[in-house]
């Protein structure tokens, strides 16, 4: 088997394992603290998407798709900053990111997003598609959580097939996001994910 293909399959299998477990804790038994962080993360993800989605709908109704671009550019990062407190970090990530600064997933997030895509293609519902785990990383031990974001019909005005996006929206996207990758979606596809992490323990410095 081609080495590159083997590596890709290994990553996909790892992602599927994460999804099959739904909630995975790498540190043995689930502690009360970790259970609390899971419920907290679910609540934050739900509130975040409800607030952002409601704001987008209002702006689309008031000023159309061109004016709604500012919601994702300004309000979405502001919301992420608002929820990123008390040791928690919240962001939106995607394999086809629009914001090259804030939307790029790290290696673990890429793996989970690939698993989300595969699960969606296999017909699994996006409504309950989430992963959580505790990971030892270079800077510490982290509780991590991701929740899939579905592509809704209203999203297609800015994220759909390029030929279906209006000329005005395309021009504004080119101006605001010259390296934009976040197009070509269809309704119901995984658009990306809400990613939440919380530092549990700082790793000791070793020589």
* Domain assignment of residue 8, yes or no: no
Q: What per-residue confidence (pLDDT) applies to 139?
A: 85
* Residue 204 domain flag: no
What's the pLDDT tens digit per position in 145-158?
999 999 999 999 99
Q: Residue range 85-99: average pLDDT?
A: 92
107 has pLDDT over 60: yes
Residue 10 is predicted with a pLDDT of 46
Q: In what order do the strands lie in the sheet with 140-150?
A: 88-93, 190-201, 140-150, 130-137
Identify the pLDDT of residue 33.
79
Q: Are 187 and 143 in contact (CB under 8 A)?
A: no
Tell me, yes or no, whether 137 lies in a domain.
yes
> Which tokens is 123 given?
């017909």
Each residue of 20-73: pLDDT tens digit? 334 333 334 457 878 899 999 999 999 999 999 999 999 999 988 998 898 888
Instruction: Kindly give, in sequence order, each residue whose CB lies less than 8 Å from that of residue 145, ignoring residues fewer than 6 positions away.
Output: 37, 38, 41, 42, 45, 130, 131, 132, 195, 196, 197
State pTM to two decimals: 0.82
Task: Tell me what the mean pLDDT of segment 74-79 comes to.
Answer: 91
Total domains in the fold of the chain: 1
- Domain housing 119: 14-199
Asked if 132 and 143 touch (Cβ cutoff 8 Å), the reply is: yes
Q: Residue 42 domain-assigned? A: yes
With a pLDDT cut of 90, the percent of the chain lying above it is: 65
Please tell me the distance from the alpha carbon of residue 124 to that of residue 171, in angstroms, as a whole number. Answer: 35
Which residues contact residue 41 at a Cβ distance below 8 angstroms, ignoring those fewer than 6 apart?
132, 143, 145, 147, 196
Residue 9 lies in a domain: no
């Amino acid at each position: 088997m081609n080495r590159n293909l083997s590596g890709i399959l290994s990553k996909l299998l790892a992602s599927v394992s994460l999804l099959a477990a739904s909630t995975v804790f790498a540190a043995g038994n689930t502690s009360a603290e970790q259970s609390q962080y899971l419920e907290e993360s679910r609540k934050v993800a739900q509130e975040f998407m409800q607030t952002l989605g409601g704001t987008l709908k209002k702006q689309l109704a008031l000023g159309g798709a061109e004016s709604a671009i500012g919601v994702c550019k300004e309000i979405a990062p502001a919301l992420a900053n608002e929820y990123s407190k008390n040791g928690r970090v919240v962001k939106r990530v995607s394999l086809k990111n629009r914001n090259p600064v804030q939307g790029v997933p790290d290696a673990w997030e890429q793996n989970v997003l690939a698993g989300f895509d595969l699960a969606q293609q296999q017909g699994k519902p996006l409504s309950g598609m989430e992963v959580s785990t505790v990971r030892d990383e270079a800077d510490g031990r982290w509780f991590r959580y991701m929740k899939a974001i579905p592509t809704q019909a209203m999203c297609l005005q800015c994220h759909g097939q390029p030929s279906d996006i209006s000329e005005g929206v395309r021009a504004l996207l080119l101006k605001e996001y010259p390296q934009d990758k976040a197009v070509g979606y269809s309704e119901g596809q995984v658009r990306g994910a809400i990613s939440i992490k919380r530092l549990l323990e700082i790793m000791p410095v070793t020589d």
